[in-house]
Amino acid sequence: MNIGPTPQLALVALAFATILIPSVSAQPPIDNSATAGEWQALPVKAESPAANPTTAEKVELGKKLFFDPRLSLTGTVSCNSCHNLMEGGDDGRPSSMGVHGSIGPRNAPTVWNSVFQASQFWDGRSPSLEDQAKGPIVAAPEMGMPAHENAIKRIAAIPGYQTEFRDVFDSENSVTIDNVVKAIAAFERTLVTPNSAFDRFVQGDRSALTDKQIRGMQLFSDIGCTECHSGPAFNGWDVGSTTQTFEEFPRNAESQLVGQYGLDRDLGRFAATNRKSDKHYFKVPTLRNISLTSPYFHNGAVAKLSDAVRVMSETQLDTELSNEEVESIVDFFSALDGEFPSIALPRIPSRPGESVLEDQEPAAVGE
Amino acid sequence: MNIGPTPQLALVALAFATILIPSVSAQPPIDNSATAGEWQALPVKAESPAANPTTAEKVELGKKLFFDPRLSLTGTVSCNSCHNLMEGGDDGRPSSMGVHGSIGPRNAPTVWNSVFQASQFWDGRSPSLEDQAKGPIVAAPEMGMPAHENAIKRIAAIPGYQTEFRDVFDSENSVTIDNVVKAIAAFERTLVTPNSAFDRFVQGDRSALTDKQIRGMQLFSDIGCTECHSGPAFNGWDVGSTTQTFEEFPRNAESQLVGQYGLDRDLGRFAATNRKSDKHYFKVPTLRNISLTSPYFHNGAVAKLSDAVRVMSETQLDTELSNEEVESIVDFFSALDGEFPSIALPRIPSRPGESVLEDQEPAAVGE
């Protein structure tokens, strides 16, 4: 496979980083016709929608709720349980384990940079972070609440939350599911990881990537990965866009790898829309921090990133890569690891001298 | 019940705060014969043992391990799952839920200030924080690892941990179970909550407690609670002591409350020692931050702190308290809520491009 002149690629990438590009002088003129807009740095900050403006107090409340396991039936599963901010924003499991040890049907997507997409969940059935956050609370294999009312009853019984909701939403009785998810979404909008080596590279720091990573970057483009994995989050989404790209996966269902990993058992977006044309269609997932979010794909069946690259090139692009080529792309992916913001552990409010989890059975007999 | 002259009590308390007592002038002479040493402020810092000296790097490593769910079989349960530092250092459940939704036999004790006791677990079967930390990793209803080796294999496979263990313990191949628990214990020694209203009171700030709390404090002493709940952590432990107080619970098994809450079904320390004289004996638990750690007792059967006070006064002290008396003690207990240190969420290291939880089954079918 022709790797091409890497310095030229670097300059093209540099010139067309559409966001945050610093002024860089003393660069030679470049041909930008081929890859205009192809490489984009991640925004360092996400916009908030008019219906849910971000405030510092709302973010702080949302952080408490994000980490509060009492939103789950058993008091053991918080948003952070499956979207662990201490690592890749997922849980490292093929699919998540919720209340009572129940196991969900799909791999937990990362919450990092989830603001940089126009729809949520693997099948894109949710149009916003607010809407998405309502789902897991009442999903039987996740937080397992019978209804949102049960979660609201728990939260509303905690004096500290009552006060904080009133202050943030400027009204009495503001502990509602809509406000709970507004606060969580406001917090999630702060979960961005800019300034990866890749971002520094496209902003002009030629030394930010190794030669091998640059080869991987060009190969990633040359074989067509960027046709779907485009935009600042490598997920087919452009800044400001309200639509999301869905693609068929696997495209080549005859590939031996499809059977090996059971990749064709999930009908994807069809389950959400019931449209035949959506069968096996999935939202294009972000590749940001991909080296931290093993295992891979909707079913989490592929543990190694190198195998995931092989699956994609063979099933989606009919391209068989050499080991060295796979390695260069994996190496490029490590350059997509961003800077994680420092987060102070929240203090989640208590109900002094009283239980929040009143419906939980006491232990009957000691060990 | 005679409440007595509260200003005198306050002065006695002030004079005999044995730790951190600031110099306070212009106080009248006091009679200290009755309660010498009864009231002690919590140390702001815990000593570390010679065998495991605390260093900043070890604490940081221990924090990562404390929050790392990959120490559990399913990758879902960390130390923090049951000893949640975001609230009272417990999980708010009657008894904890571990891997696969399994439920343990006893209420999770708080990890806050656990350094201020000479033995760990309800039955005191563990002599140190280091020894204690080994237990849950391989307890079937907790983290559920078949053996410590399985946990070590996971941790040792993570390059970032390899480096950090080598730096902290200054030797190669230092990812061992002994070093894992040394790091966790070093972190736990930082988990102290000084400067409660009570502490400020015994250090001389007469305004730190309300009159009602002072009445509760004296009542707590008058009826005999302090016979067992003594020392800076209210758990029968003195600073520097290597022994721990165990007491029979319930003492009066005939009390109607014992049957109501099933408090006599656990044989306590007997299970650890097999000595008949240890039947129904338990370690005296700390009362620090007690208002944040509902539900109460070894089986977590009592949800309200006021009911817990009634249980204790009736079953242990043959004393029936009025509602107002119970309230004053509960109010005093709220003065034991300390200052929680600010903790930055750790970044737990990954195994780039590879799974840490290789033994977990992928999801088979999408939803």
Which of the 8 DSSP states describes residue A20? Answer: S
For residues B147 and B65, state if they share a domain: yes
Cβ pair B191, B111 in contact under 8 A: yes
Residues A242 and A166 in one domain: no
Looking at the structure of chain A, the number of domains it has is 2
Show residues of chain A in contact with B345, CB under 8 Å: 85-86, 342-345
Is the alpha carbon torsion for B250, B254, B258, B264 positive or negative?
A: positive
Residues of A assigned a catalytic role: 142
Instruction: Give a yes or no: residue B148 inside a domain.
Output: yes
**What pLDDT is recorded for position A23?**
35
Residue-wise pLDDT tens digits, A180-230: 999 999 999 999 999 999 999 999 999 999 999 999 999 999 999 999 999
Residues of B in contact with A122 (CB under 8 A): 366
Tens digits of residue pLDDT in A80-100: 999 999 999 999 999 999 999
A251 contact B CB<8A? no
In this structure, the answer to whether residues B104 and B141 fall within a common structural domain is yes
Instruction: Quote the radius of gyration of chain A (alpha carbons, Å).
Output: 22
Q: pLDDT tens, A106-152?
A: 999 999 999 999 999 999 999 999 999 999 999 999 999 999 999 99
Task: Determine whether the interchain pair B105/A367 forms a contact, defined as Cβ–Cβ distance below 8 Å.
Answer: yes
Asked if residue A229 belongs to a known ligand binding site, the reply is yes
The answer on B150 and B99 residing in a single domain is yes
What DSSP letter does each residue of B145-199 carry, written as one string?
Answer: -SSHHHHHHHHHT-HHHHHHHHHHHTSTT---HHHHHHHHHHHHTT------HHH
Contact B327, A61 (CB under 8 A): no
Q: Which residues touch A163 (CB under 8 Å, ≥6 apart)?
A: none
Give yes or no: residues A129 and A247 share one domain. no
B347·A340 Cβ contact <8 A: yes
Q: Of A282, A283, A286, which Cα lies nearest the Cα of A338?
A: A286
Q: How many residues does chain B have?
A: 367
pLDDT for the residue A37: 65
Q: For B107, which of A75, A347, A363 is closest by C-beta distance?
A: A363
Say if A271 is an interface residue toward chain B (CB within 8 Å).
Answer: yes
B81 in a structural domain: yes
Q: Give the pairing of strands A281-283 and B246-248.
A: unpaired
Handedness of CA B249, B251, B253, B256 (dihedral sign): negative
What the block records as the tokens of B96 is 């904890």
| A299 touches B: beta carbon within 8 Å | yes
Report the CATH number at residue B172. Answer: 1.10.760.10
Please indicate, yes or no, if residue A365 is contained in any of the structural domains.
no
Task: Report the pLDDT value the prediction gives residue B19, as an integer from 0 to 100.
Answer: 40
Query: Between residues 181 and 220 of chain B, which touch chain A (CB distance below 8 Å)?
Result: none
Summary mean pLDDT of chain A: 90
Structural domain ending residue among the three candidates A138, A172, A188? A188
Query: Which residues, 6+ apart, have CB-to-CB distance to B240 below 8 Å?
Result: none
Decide if pLDDT at A242 tops 50.
yes
Domain that holds residue A183: 56-188
If asked whether residues B31 and B140 sit together in one domain, one would say no
Which of B188, B219, B240 is at the close of a domain? B188
My answer on whether A201 and A324 are in the same domain is yes
| Residues of chain A contacting residue B338, judged by C-beta atoms under 8 Å apart | none
Least CA distance to A83: which residue of chain B? B76
Q: CB within 8 A of A65, min separation 6: which ones? A: A71, A79, A155, A180, A183, A184, A187
Considering the domain boundaries, does residue A173 fall inside one?
Answer: yes
Contact B328, B213 (CB under 8 A): yes
Residue A30 lies in a domain: no
B139 and B230 part of one domain:
no
Using pLDDT thresholds of 50, 70 and 90, give the confidence band for residue A358.
confident
**Considering only CB atoms, which chain B residues are within 8 Å of A64?**
86
Q: Does B355 touch chain A (CB under 8 A)?
A: yes
Are B321 and B204 part of one and the same domain? Answer: yes
In a domain, A128, yes or no: yes
In a domain, A358, yes or no: no
Q: Do B353 and A305 touch (CB under 8 A)?
A: yes
Judging contacts by C-beta atoms under 8 Å, the chain B residues touching residue A258 are none
More confident residue, A320 or B1: A320
B103 touches chain A (CB under 8 A): yes
ipTM associated with this complex: 0.90
* Span A38-48, average pLDDT: 96
Annotated binding-site residues of B read: 79, 82-83, 225, 228-229, 312
Q: Do B85 and A345 touch (CB under 8 A)?
A: yes
Residue B206 located in a structural domain: yes
For chain B, which residues score pLDDT lower than 50?
1-36, 366-367
The predicted pLDDT at position B7 comes to 43
Q: Do A353 and B291 count as a contact with CB atoms less than 8 A apart?
A: yes
> Left (φ > 0), alpha (ψ -120 to 50) or beta: where does B353 sit?
left
Query: For position B122, what pLDDT does the model report?
Result: 97
- The shortest C-alpha distance from B26 to chain A (Å) reads 37
pLDDT score of B46: 97
Same-domain check for residues A227 and A327: yes
- Nearest CA to B60 among B193, B154, B179, B184? B184
Of B188, B208, B226, at which residue does a domain stop? B188
A121 and A181 in a single domain? The answer is: yes
In this complex, how many residue pairs, one in chain A and one in chain B, have their CB atoms less than 8 Å apart?
A: 221
Residues B199 and B155 reside in one and the same domain: no
